[in-house]
Amino acid sequence: MFDKSTWIRLPRNVVIGHGVLGQTLDAVEELHLSGRPLVVSSPTPHAVAGEKVVDQFAAAGYDPAEIVIEEASFDAVQRVIAHAEDADAGFAIGVGGGKAIDITKMAADDLGLGFVSVPTAASHDGIVSGRGSVPEGDTRHSVAAEPPLAVVADTEILAEAPWRLTTAGCADIISNYTAVRDWELAHRLKNVPYSEYAGALSQMTAEMLVENADSIKRNLEESSWIVVKALVSSGVAMSIAGSSRPASGAEHLFSHQLDRIAPGAALHGHQVGVGAIMTEYLHSGPNGRWRDVRDALGALGAPTTAEDLGIDRETVIEALTTAHEIRDRYTILGDGMSEEAAIEAATVTGVV
């Protein structure tokens, strides 16, 4: 008997465009959510968009509650849960970058509340995904979380955000190349479940972004449009897979390890991009496609070296040699790189 089953949870309303923040209320009302909204954001996104979302719902008679969180941590998730319970919230709206959105979707999952995603930066592909990513001690948890029922991505806001946030989003997408390679490898070597659809969608998303690289330019709102659509598409690939595998391989392990060793050094997307140059080298060798990955990142204005990231050579080598310890996810790093091999990979690729 065929007894497989799977749930693919996708957003119902994806609203992207100039000035669409003003349609957040419409996007929510169309979902027939009831009760009090809780608007969760971090300081800058609160000022940029969170307050406007609160005002919009207040004007419509909703009595919105709000909370501003400072960091992505399990403590922050607990604070949001407590605040939502105190406020008797009926649904949660996450407004911000990857951290605020992750915290909101994790709290919403715990409380069984509907979640709406309002990105203020095109910096990460967690905008749509049903995953939350939070560090804890020496490890990084990628946990199932409430996927958004609606996404409201205002390209005017995304375009006004610092340009480096957009280039970070581009790099998070370009890292899909190596993430898919790692996933295929884990499938072949360790029998890890693999989804052809999710793998193909993730890879195609990276290819389309690179093909459109000439149209991704600072001060051009269309750039935000192209990048956010790619971020949505990558999040859909994660939803189809039911894991972050299509978008997170060894290059993400490298970045998560950097977050521990050199917290706050660089943006998530920029770190995974530099990681992808080196892990592509590990996959395909000195004459392989690592130059294509590096050139695509460079063309989009994303970092390609340790210096660009603001980290030193020792930090890169330490992160490379210990990245496999971050979580139980088989990648090209296998059971770990030797120091000599890490120096070779980082040097040949020009990262250090």
Ligand X SMILES: O=P(O)(O)OC[C@@H](O)CO
What residues between 192 and 251 interact with ligand NAD by CB under 6 A?
A: 238, 244
Burial 46-77 (b: 16+ CB within 10 A, else e): bebbbebbbebbeeeebebbbbbbeebeeebb
What residues between 128 and 147 interact with ligand X by CB under 6 A?
A: 131, 133, 142
In 3D, which of 29, 72, 24, 30 has the Cα closest to residue 51?
24
99 near ligand X, rule: CB under 6 A: no
Provide the minimum distance between the beta carbon of 252 and ligand X in the complex, in angstroms, as a whole number: 4
284 near ligand NAD, rule: CB under 6 A: no
Interaction partner, residue 42 (Zn ion, ligand NAD, ligand X, none; CB < 5-8 Å by kind) = ligand NAD
In 3D, which of 185, 116, 118 has the Cα closest to residue 157?
118
Interaction partner, residue 81 (ligand NAD, Zn ion, ligand X, none; CB < 5-8 Å by kind) = none
Name the phi and psi angles at 151, rounded to 5.
-125, 130
Of 124-132, 147-155, 222-230, 276-284, the window that binds ligand X (rule: CB under 6 A) is 124-132
Of 39-47, 247-255, 290-298, 335-343, the window that binds ligand X (rule: CB under 6 A) is 247-255
Look at the chain and count its residues.
352
DSSP 147: P
Measured from the CB atom, is 56 or 155 closer to ligand NAD? 155
> Pick from 66, 125, 146, 182: which binds ligand NAD (CB under 6 A)?
125
172 near Zn ion, rule: CB under 5 A: yes
172 near ligand X, rule: CB under 6 A: yes
- The CA-CA-CA angle for residues 141, 145, 149, to 5°, reads 150
Measured from the CB atom, is 156 or 222 closer to ligand NAD? 156
Unique residue bearing structure tokens 């990048």? 227
98 near ligand NAD, rule: CB under 6 A: yes
Provide the minimum distance between the beta carbon of 266 and ligand X in the complex, in angstroms, as a whole number: 14
Instruction: Report the amino acid identity of residue 18.
Output: H
Radius of gyration over alpha carbons of the chain, in Å? 20
44 near ligand NAD, rule: CB under 6 A: yes
Strands (E), the chain: 13-17, 36-41, 65-68, 89-96, 114-119, 131-136, 139-144, 150-154
- Cα–Cα distance, 185 to 179 (Å, whole number): 10
268 is in an annotated binding site: yes
190 is in an annotated binding site: no
Provide the minimum distance between the beta carbon of 52 and ligand NAD in the complex, in angstroms, as a whole number: 12
Of 49-57, 164-172, 192-200, 209-217, the window that binds Zn ion (rule: CB under 5 A) is 164-172
Exposure of 339 by Cβ count < 10 A (0-12 exposed, 13-18 middle, 19+ buried)? Answer: exposed
User: What is the enclosing helix (H) or strand (E) of 278?
Assistant: helix 268-284
- Cα–Cα distance, 53 to 153 (Å, whole number): 13
Half-sphere exposure of 152 (CA within 13 A, CB side): 23
Measured from the CB atom, is 172 or 182 closer to Zn ion? 172
**Binding site, annotated residues for substrate:** 125, 172, 256
Residue numbers of the site for ligand X (CB under 6 A)?
A: 125-126, 131, 133, 142, 172, 244, 247-248, 252
Enumerate the known binding-site residues. Answer: 98-102, 120-123, 125, 129, 172, 252, 256, 268
By CB under 6 A, name the binding residues for ligand NAD. 42, 44-45, 48, 72, 96-100, 102, 120-121, 123-126, 129, 131-133, 157, 161-162, 165, 168, 172, 238, 244, 267-269
Binding residues for Zn(2+): 172, 252, 268
